[in-house]
Amino acid sequence: MTSSRQPKLIQTPTTAQQLGGIIKSARDIMRKDKGLSGELDRLPMLTWVLFLKFLDDTEWVREDEALLSGTRYRPVIEAPYRWRDWASDETGMTGDELISFVNNEEAVRPDGERGPGLFAYLRSLRGEAEGGDRRDVIATVFRGAMNRMINGYLLRDVINKVNSLDFASTDEIHTLGHLYESMLKEMRDAAGDSGEFYTPRPVVRFMVEVTDPRLGETVLDPACGTGGFLVEAYSHLERQCETVEDREVLQKESVVGGEAKPLPYLMAQMNLLLHGLESPKIDPGNSLRHPLREIGDRDRVDMILTNPPFGGEEERGIQNNFPIDKQTSETALLFLQLIMRKLRRYPKSGRAGVVVPNGTLFAGGVAARIKEELLKEFDLHTIVRLPNGVFAPYTSIPTNLLFFDRNGPTEEVWYYEQPLPEGRKNYTKTKPMRYEELAGCLAWWKAREENERAWKVAAEEILANGCNLDVKNPHSKEELEHLPPEELVDNILAKEMQIAEIMAEIKISLGAER
Nearest to 278 by CA among 222, 234, 229, 225: 234
Alpha-carbon distance 238 to 214, whole Å? Answer: 10
- Taking 70 as the threshold, does the pLDDT of residue 124 lie above it? yes
pLDDT value, residue 175: 83
Same domain, 55 and 118: yes
Q: What pLDDT, on a 0 to 100 scale, did the predictor assign at position 408?
A: 84
Instruction: Indicate the pLDDT class of residue 495, thresholds 50, 70 and 90.
Output: low
pLDDT at 77: 94
Q: Of 45, 241, 275, nearest to 151 (Cα)?
A: 45
Angle between helices 485-513 and 366-377 (to 10 degrees): 90
Name the pLDDT band for 26 (thresholds 50, 70, 90).
Answer: very high
Residue 456's domain comprises 197-476
Same domain, 164 and 214: no
The pLDDT value recorded for residue 129 is 65
Query: 138 and 218: one domain?
Result: no
pLDDT digits (tens, 9 = 90+) for 31-56: 999 999 888 889 899 999 999 999 99
Helix (H) or strand (E) holding 492: helix 485-513
pLDDT of residue 481: 41
Q: What is the DSSP string of 250-298?
A: HHHHSEEEE--SHHHHHHHHHHHHHTT-SS-EEE-S-TT-S-GGG--GG
In a domain, residue 39? The reply is yes
Interval 293-352: pLDDT, tens = 999 999 999 999 999 987 777 888 999 999 999 999 899 999 999 999 999 988 889 999
* Cis peptide bond upstream of 409, omega within 30: yes
| Residue 204 forms part of a structural domain | yes
Q: Is the pLDDT of residue 88 over 90?
A: yes
Residues of the chain with pLDDT > 70: what percent? 87
CB 102 within 8 A of CB 111: no
Alpha carbon distance 59, 306 (integer Å)? 32
Half-sphere exposure of 96 (CA within 13 A, CB side): 0
Give the per-residue pLDDT at 480.
41
> The domain that contains 453 carries what CATH number?
3.40.50.150
Q: How far apart are CA 71 and CA 1, in angstroms?
A: 8
- Judgement on whether residues 156 and 231 belong to the same structural domain of the protein: no
Over range 347-364, report the average pLDDT.
Answer: 93
**b (16+ CB within 10 A) / e for 2-18:** eeeeeebeeeeebeeee
Exposure of 422 by Cβ count < 10 A (0-12 exposed, 13-18 middle, 19+ buried)? exposed
Cα gap 282→220, rounded to integer Å: 10
Is there a domain that residue 345 lies in? Answer: yes
Looking at the predicted structure, is the pLDDT value of residue 390 above 80?
yes
- What average pLDDT does the segment 108-134 reach? 87
Q: Is 400 domain-assigned?
A: yes
Give the domain-ending residue among 151, 168, 185. Answer: 168
Out of 148-157, 293-302, 348-357, 501-510, least confident range: 501-510
Q: Work out the average pLDDT over 422-441.
A: 89
Q: Residue 507 pLDDT > 70, yes or no? A: no
Residues 202 and 144 in one domain: no
pLDDT mean over 475-481? 59
Residues 261 and 128 in one domain: no
pLDDT greater than 90 at residue 195:
no
Structural domains in the chain (count)? 2
| Distance in angstroms (rounded) separating the CA atoms of residues 234 and 254 | 7
Beta strands in 136-269 (DSSP E): 219-221, 255-258
pLDDT of residue 248: 94
CATH, residue 110: 1.20.1260.30
What value does the mean pLDDT take over residues 271-292? Answer: 92
Above 60 in pLDDT, residue 9? no
Report the chain's mean pLDDT, rounded to a whole number: 88
